[in-house]
Structures are given as structure tokens and as C-alpha cells.
């Protein structure tokens, strides 16, 4: 069943403390779409953006809602709800991940698609913003059920996506296997091989070298550049990471290899901190997570909560889980010198204000986690001409684009005397505004 929704109803801002995830996060539920609009409005004021363009940018171009049945292993049929939001395509086809999480909502998907537009623009990738998700706890599903749900979702949104219209990718609780099922289903439906319909695929199916750790690699480049800007030493710097999935775990590995000390990490089940202040053993952490499902209780560590992790006295704090983790309730407790947002939307606008007052150097999500979409773009390019690059080529091109984006943001922050997030938005929105003016409003 297809329901095209174009609802623009304003949603009241809620900011009440609740236990998030699996009971370990003190998360404030701020509507992420409201946050996205607030961030755009802040930049629009400073850059004197036309009010009409701000209005255009404040709404996704279109949102698809699908309700679809899936046969479960016990023979029953369950109906799932999923979304795909396409925010803006002034710079090119929409691009953005697919999330499987019980907290997925239409406003979350809208916000994530808006952030994708600005991220692509900031790093210079010729895509607009898209995002999708299914309301589901994938941990409750068998592998067979996951495959059937993914294939049916691909079928439902197939008319909406394509290599030249909208190209999905992995996000929270989706992975290369999910991408492989999606690619295979889409190709079967259109009757031809279409690897460029989705990125983050396994290497054996046209995935790119360097895609699996691209988000973390981009993040580690941003952290390195932030350290230079703040005249800090990365070697020996203390790092805390919230979220130990694709973005967080690779970040721990890469930053550790650069000489930084990852002293604490958490995931949805708990956390681990080094009691001595020495770096955690990343290999041991991985082994423990694979064996037990979480990082908590890893050998040589002591347990730590998410709340404690966010308030640690570290040089770099890396939120790499979900939205709304640093809010007006806990922002004042942050002691880190630099925050690099691996997650999308982990800091609310209210918290941004407090962090700015406290002179925390924040590397915003649309820069800090842009390595993922950058290498996704590389994968799409390689799929289009079926010629593949080696890993050094991928990493070298990623490095160039990340450093250029950081420098542009930093220079813009200086020029407008504003915080980094607003500066990043000024750059990103300025480019999309220019493209929109050049295209004109048709008819
Ligand atoms: P993932 O599913 O691989 O990992 C998510 C991690 O967050 C897991 O370790 C999970 O245990 C943890 N987590 C979930 N709920 C939590 C909670 N309440 N408290 C603490 N930890 C919790 O997902 P990912 O791909 O690493 O994505 C993480 C973030 O990075 C998301 O915001 C995502 O949008 C963003 N991101 C990911 C990519 C990518 O390429 N994977 C790219 C850009 C941005």
C-alpha cells in the first residue's frame, strides 16, 4: 500500500527526560525535525537567505509511507511501517541511509533527510538528501525474517528510488547484507542489474573499498583537523565514544592507531571505562562485544553509564549512537574540549547554545560523519562505470574532500563570527540556494 504524505504540520517541541534505548540513556526527546529547522533558521538569518528559500528548505520535497505485510517464522503475518523522505534534489539525486529501529518516526526521517542535503553540499558530493527507515527492533527478528522484511520494503519503495533519483545506504542496524538484499530485489523488479541503486554493498557485489570504515575515517580526519585548529596534540589525547557500532567502533580503532587514547565506550547495553586512564584494548572490546552482545564488562574495564560517559573529563567526546543525547539538561556537564558528532543530531539546539557559551569546539554531524556519504558517492561512481579503485585511491580522495570541507567551515566560522554548526550550514545552504536560483522555480 502506498501513502504519499506531504504533511507540513508543525510539531510542538517536547523536551522531557525519559530513559532511552534499552534503559541506559538519559535522553531528552526533542523533535529532530524541529531541531533541523532551528539550525537552518539560525544560518539563514546570518547569511541573509531569502525567506522563500528557507521555506522551501524547511520541508522535504516528498515523503513516502508504506505499510507492508511480512511472513514471520511461526507462520503469522506482521505488518510493518516504513518511510522514505526525499528532502531536496537541487544538487543531484537524493542520498541517505535506511534505519531499522523501534524509535523511527516520520519526523526523525524528515530531519535525517534534511541533514543529508546539507552534508552532501558541504563536502561537495553532487547529491541531495534522502533518508528511510522501518519501525522495528531488528534484534527481535530472525535472519530470514529480516531478509523478507527488507525485500518487501525494497519492493514497496522501488518506484520511489533508483540510481538517478534516490540512492539508499546503511544506517543504524542495517549493514552490507541488508544492502545486498535491497540491490538484488530492486534489480529483479526492474529486470536489469542495478548496483548503483544502493551503496554500502559487500565488496563481492560492487561495494567500494574503504566504505565499511569510511564514516569513522572521515571522522578521524575531522578530529585531527580540530586538534590542529585548537593546537592540541592528538597523540595521547583522551577520547570517549558513545555507541559502538559501525561509526563508533571503527572510530575507536582509527583514532587509537593515530595515537589517541580511547578510554571509555558505551553501547545500548552499557559501557566500559579504563580504570587506570590508559587506552582500552580495542581488540578485547570487539571480542567481548561479539561474544556477549555489548562492551560492558570487557576484560580490564569497569562499567560506566551513558550519562557518566558524556560528562567525562576527556579531550574529545564522540557521540556515535542516536539523536538527542546532549541536551539542555546535561550540556553543562560536558567537560570535553572538542565534540565530534559521528551520530546525526546528537546535540539539541538548546544544548548547542550552552556548549557555545562554554567554548566547546563542536564539529557538527554534517561535517564529522560525512565520510560515509562521500565514499558512498565513490561507490556509486564506480558502479556507474564498472571500474573499481583501490583502497589508497579511495582514502586519498576522501582525505582531500574532508580537509577541504573542514577548512571551508572553519574559515566561514571566522568570517561570520559564529559557531561551527552555523558556519557549516551557511556553506551548505549557500550552495543549494545558488543551485536552486540557477534552476529557477518551474513552471
Ligand atoms: P550501528 O547500528 O552500527 O551502531 C549503533 C550503535 O549505537 C550500537 O553500538 C548501539 O548499541 C548503540 N546504541 C543504540 N542505542 C543506544 C543508546 N540508547 N545509548 C548508547 N548507545 C546506543 O549504527 P551506525 O551506522 O554506527 O550509526 C550510528 C550513528 O552514526 C547514527 O546516528 C547514524 O545516523 C550515524 N551515521 C552512520 C553512518 C554509517 O555509515 N554507518 C554514516 C553517517 C552517520
Mean pLDDT of 272-286: 96
In a domain, 142, yes or no: yes
Q: Are residues 153 and 179 in the same domain?
A: yes
Q: Are residues 191 and 223 in the same domain?
A: no
Range in 3-7, 13-17, 367-371 the model is least confident about:
13-17
**Contact 123 CB / ligand 1 (< 6 Å):** no
How many angstroms separate the alpha carbon of residue 296 from the centre of ligand 1?
A: 17
**Contact 33 CB / ligand 1 (< 6 Å):** no
Instruction: Write out the three cell numbers for 111.
Output: 530531519
Which of these three, 368, 385, 407, is where a domain ends? 368
Q: Are residues 192 and 123 in the same domain?
A: yes
Q: Are residues 157 and 236 in the same domain?
A: no
Going by their DSSP bridges, the two strands 316-319 and 238-242 should be labelled as: parallel
Q: Are residues 254 and 349 in the same domain?
A: yes
Q: Which residue of 100, 322, 366 sits with most ligand 1 atoms within 8 Å of its CB, as the best mutation to test the pocket?
A: 322
In a domain, 411, yes or no: no
Q: Where in the sequence is the domain holding 28, given as residue range(s)?
A: 2-196
Which CATH number belongs to the domain containing residue 275 in this structure?
3.40.50.720
The Cα–Cα gap between 350 and 310 comes to 16
The pLDDT tens digits for 378-415 are 999 999 999 999 999 999 999 999 999 999 999 999 99
The pLDDT tens digits for 232-272 are 999 999 999 999 999 999 999 999 999 999 999 999 999 99
Q: Which of 308, 323, 358, 324 is nearest to 338 (CA)?
A: 358
Q: Are residues 54 and 186 in the same domain?
A: yes
In a domain, 433, yes or no: no
Query: At 427, phi and psi to the nearest 5?
Result: -65, -50
Which residue in 110, 131, 238, 261 is the catalytic one? 131
Mean pLDDT of 80-104: 98
Confidence category of residue 3, pLDDT binned at 50, 70, 90: very low
Q: Are residues 224 and 138 in the same domain?
A: no
In a domain, 360, yes or no: yes
Q: Are residues 192 and 223 in the same domain?
A: no
In a domain, 377, yes or no: no
State yes or no: pLDDT of 20 exceeds 60: no
pLDDT number for residue 383: 98
pLDDT number for residue 32: 97
**Contact 266 CB / ligand 1 (< 6 Å):** yes
In a domain, 7, yes or no: yes
Q: How many domains does the chain have?
A: 2
Q: Are residues 8 and 60 in the same domain?
A: yes
The pLDDT tens digits for 317-330 are 999 999 999 999 99
Asked if 131 is an active-site residue, the reply is yes
In a domain, 436, yes or no: no
In a domain, 400, yes or no: no
**Contact 295 CB / ligand 1 (< 6 Å):** no
Q: Are residues 45 and 164 in the same domain?
A: yes
Q: Which residue of 169, 253, 267 sits with most ligand 1 atoms within 8 Å of its CB, as the best mutation to test the pocket?
A: 267
By percentage, how much of the chain surpasses pLDDT 90? 93
**Contact 121 CB / ligand 1 (< 6 Å):** no
Q: Which residue of 23, 321, 379 sits with most ligand 1 atoms within 8 Å of its CB, as the best mutation to test the pocket?
A: 321
**Contact 245 CB / ligand 1 (< 6 Å):** yes
How many angstroms separate the alpha carbon of residue 285 from the centre of ligand 1?
A: 17
Which of these three, 164, 196, 228, is where a domain ends? 196
* 276: helix, strand or coil: coil
Mean pLDDT of 6-35: 45
pLDDT number for residue 29: 76
The Cα–Cα gap between 59 and 420 comes to 23
* 137: helix, strand or coil: coil
Q: Are residues 98 and 149 in the same domain?
A: yes
State yes or no: pLDDT of 16 exceeds 70: no
Q: Are residues 259 and 346 in the same domain?
A: yes
Which of these three, 368, 389, 411, is where a domain ends? 368
Which CATH number belongs to the domain containing residue 41 in this structure?
3.40.50.10860
State yes or no: pLDDT of 177 exceeds 80: yes
The Cα–Cα gap between 93 and 52 comes to 22
Amino acid at each position: 500500500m502506498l501513502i504519499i504524505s506531504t504533511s507540513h504540520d508543525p510539531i510542538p517541541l517536547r523536551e522531557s527526560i525519559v530513559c532511552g534505548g534499552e534503559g541506559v540513556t538519559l535522553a531528552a526527546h526533542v523533535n529532530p525535525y524541529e531541531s533541523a529547522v532551528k539550525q537552518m533558521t539560525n544560518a539563514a538569518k546570518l547569511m541573509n537567505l531569502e525567506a522563500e528559500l528557507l521555506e522551501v528548505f524547511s520541508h522535504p520535497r516528498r515523503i513516502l509511507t508504506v505499510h507492508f505485510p511480512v511472513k514471520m517464522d511461526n507462520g503469522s503475518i506482521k505488518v510493518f511501517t516504513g518511510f522514505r523522505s526525499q528532502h531536496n534534489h537541487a544538487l543531484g539525486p537524493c542520498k541517505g541511509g535506511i534505519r531499522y529501529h523501534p524509535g523511527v518516526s516520520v519526523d526523525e526521517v524528515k530531519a535525517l533527510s534534511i541533514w543529508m542535503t546539507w552534508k552532501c553540499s558541504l563536502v561537495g558530493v553532487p547529491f541531495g538528501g534522502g533518508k528511510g527507515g522501518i519501525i522495528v527492533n531488528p534484534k527481535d527478528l530472525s535472519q530470514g525474517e529480516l531478509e523478507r522484511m527488507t525485500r518487501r520494503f525494497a519492493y514497496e519503495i522501488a518506484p520511489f528510488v533508483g540510481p538517478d533519483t534516490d540512492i539508499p545506504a546503511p544506517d543504524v542496524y542495517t549493514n552490507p547484507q541488508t544492502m545486498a538484499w535491497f540491490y538484488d530485489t530492486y534489480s529483479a523488479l526492474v529486470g536489469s542489474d542495478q548496483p548503483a541503486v544502493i551503496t554500502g554493498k559487500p565488496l563481492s557485489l560492487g561495494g567500494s573499498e574503504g566504505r565499511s570504515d569510511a564514516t569513522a575515517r572521515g571522522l578521524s580526519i575531522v578530529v585531527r583537523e580540530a586538534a590542529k585548529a585548537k593546537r592540541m596534540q592528538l597523540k595521547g589525547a583522551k577520547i570517549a565514544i558513545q555507541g559502538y557500532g559501525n561509526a563508533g567502533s571503527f572510530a575507536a580503532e582509527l583514532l587509537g592507531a593515530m595515537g589517541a587514547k580511547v578510554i571509555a565506550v558505551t553501547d545500548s547495553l552499557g559501557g566500559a571505562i579504563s580504570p587506570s586512564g590508559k587506552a582500552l584494548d580495542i581488540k578485547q572490546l570487539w571480542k567481548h562485544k561479539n561474544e556477549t552482545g555489548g562492551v560492558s564488562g570487557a576484560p580490564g574495564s569497569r562499567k560506566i553509564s551513558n550519562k557518566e560517559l558524556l560528562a567525562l573529563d576527556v579531550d574529545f567526546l564522540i557521540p556515535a549512537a542516536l539523536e538527542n543525547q546532549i541536551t539542555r539538561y546535561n550540556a553543562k556537564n560536558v567537560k570535553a574540549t572538542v565534540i565530534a558528532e559521528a551520530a546525526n543530531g546528537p546535540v539539541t539546539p538548546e544544548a548547542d547554545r550552552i556548549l557555545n557559551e562554554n567554548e566547546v569546539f563542536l564539529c557538527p554531524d554534517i561535517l564529522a560523519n560525512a565520510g560515509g556519504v562521500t565514499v558512498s558517492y565513490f561507490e556509486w561512481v564506480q558502479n556507474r562505470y564498472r571500474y573499481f579503485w583501490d583502497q589508497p585511491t579511495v582514502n586519498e580522495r576522501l582525505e582531500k574532500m574532508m580537509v577541504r570541507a573542514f577548512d571551508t567551515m572553519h574559515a566561514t566560522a571566522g568570517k561570520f563570527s559564529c559557531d561551527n554548526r552555523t558556519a557549516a550550514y551557511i556553506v551548505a545552504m549557500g550552495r543549494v540556494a545558488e543551485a536552486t536560483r540557477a534552476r529557477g522555480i518551474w513552471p
